[in-house]
Amino acid sequence: MTPSGFVLLDKNPGDTSFKALFPLKRVFSTKRVGHAGTLDLRASGLIVAAIGRATRLLPFVEAKDKCYTFRLHLGYETDTLEWDGDVVVQGEFGIRNSEFGIDEGVILREQGDRRIQGGLTRENLEAVLPQFIGDIDQIPPRYCAVKIDGRRASDWAERGKDFEMKPRRIHIESLKIVGEGGVTECCSGKCFATFDLECVCSKGTYIRSLGRDLARALGTYGCVSQIRRHRIGNITLDGAVKGENLTAENLVPVDKVLDYPVLRVAEDGLAVIRRGNWLPWKNNVEGIGPEGYVFVARENGEVLSLCRFEPGRIWPKYFLGGDD
């Protein structure tokens, strides 16, 4: 019987999110695995993976907000928006660029009642951060998994095809500087400043695009490195495991990842749910969210179904018991 549950992975930079799932297939002897929220090839950090019927719950995990850290390199922009991509524009601080308003050592973009002169400082960057808080429209990178005419944008970019990336509405809850002056090896361009930032954002946010747009708000060019995802919803890297260290003991029950109320039901009630029928439920349910989702479990706490609660009854949505 294939188990059902989640595995919290700490992805290594250089592995694809797909490759990060290989240890799950080996340890749990199944091909029924999936993950919530793809990480870029060069990015590292938290991936919530699922085994068996728990894969049905991945959209609920992916909808949660995420927390990332990353390094912003100011001074050049690459095709991939990463620090080691092919340089498409090199913008030494102070070189004239009419699009972003740089002229003779002075960035002309107004910052309140003053202008940025000479070297760019932490205060200059902090002054533009509020522009990116809340709901904003963001254009994804050309090298990404967004589908254009049925193919990934990155596939078209590699073939040299000309195409347009349309903006998407995202939400950034918070954005702050957590360090500056760090050095990343193998930069393909020359940067005049680096800053480390932390971002809490919605599903669909591209950190690479955020770095590009932060630089442009400052009147220069930028790219990023060291993207690392630390949190998805309430789940953090603290409980994550490297793929090479994965064992069967790292399987996490679904109710430890999705914090829906758990209703313990006798076996005859579980049989009703298992057949896809609604179950009468007259008790109050504490902690229920606006979606109305609850887990239904055996009396020993083993979760067997995701259901939707409405006053007086429980409707089954997904059966989550182990595969036969």
Give me the residue spans of the domains in the chain: 5-64+233-256, 66-232, 262-319
User: Largest Cα–Cα distance in the chain?
Assistant: 79
Give the C-alpha separation, 47 to 197, whole Å: 20
Cα separations in angstroms, 98 against 11, 71, 92, 118, 199: 41, 26, 14, 18, 30
Query: What is residue 100's predicted lDDT score, i.e. its pLDDT?
Result: 47
Domains 66-232 and 262-319 share a fold: no
> How would you classify the pairing of strands 151-152 and 147-148?
antiparallel
Q: Classify residue 42 as left (phi > 0), alpha (psi -120 to 50) or beta.
A: alpha
Q: Dig out the tokens for 181 from the structure.
A: 């002056």
Residue 205 has a pLDDT of 95
Of 10, 15, 40, 255, the active-site residue reads: 40
pLDDT of residue 300: 93
In whole angstroms, give the CA distance from residue 319 to residue 298: 13
Active-site residue flag, 135: no
DSSP state of 323: B
The answer to whether domain 5-64+233-256 has CATH 3.30.2350.10 is yes
Task: Give the pLDDT confidence score for residue 70 in this predicted structure.
Answer: 98
Structural tokens at position 135: 């709901």
168-180/134-138 β-pairing? antiparallel
Contact 225, 24 (CB under 8 A): no
Q: Which residues of the chain have pLDDT under 50?
A: 94-98, 100-118, 324
In this structure, whether the domain defined by 66-232 belongs to CATH 3.40.50.720 is answered with: no
> What are 114's two structure tokens?
């003053």
CB 206 within 8 A of CB 16: no
Determine contact, residues 99/240, Cβ cutoff 8 Å.
no
- Percentage of the residues of the chain whose pLDDT score is greater than 90: 74
What's the topology of domain 262-319? 2.30.130
Q: 177's torsion region: left (phi>0), alpha (psi -120 to 50) or beta?
A: beta
Q: Give the CA radius of gyration of the chain.
A: 23
Residue 20 token pair: 């990060």
Contact call for residues 140 and 168 (beta carbons, < 8 A) = yes
Write down the pLDDT at residue 322: 62
pLDDT value, residue 115: 37
Question: Is the pTM here over 0.95, yes or no?
Answer: no
Do 47 and 35 contact (CB within 8 A), yes or no? yes
Write the burial class of residue 53 (CB in 10 Å: 0-12 exposed, 13-18 middle, 19+ buried).
Answer: buried
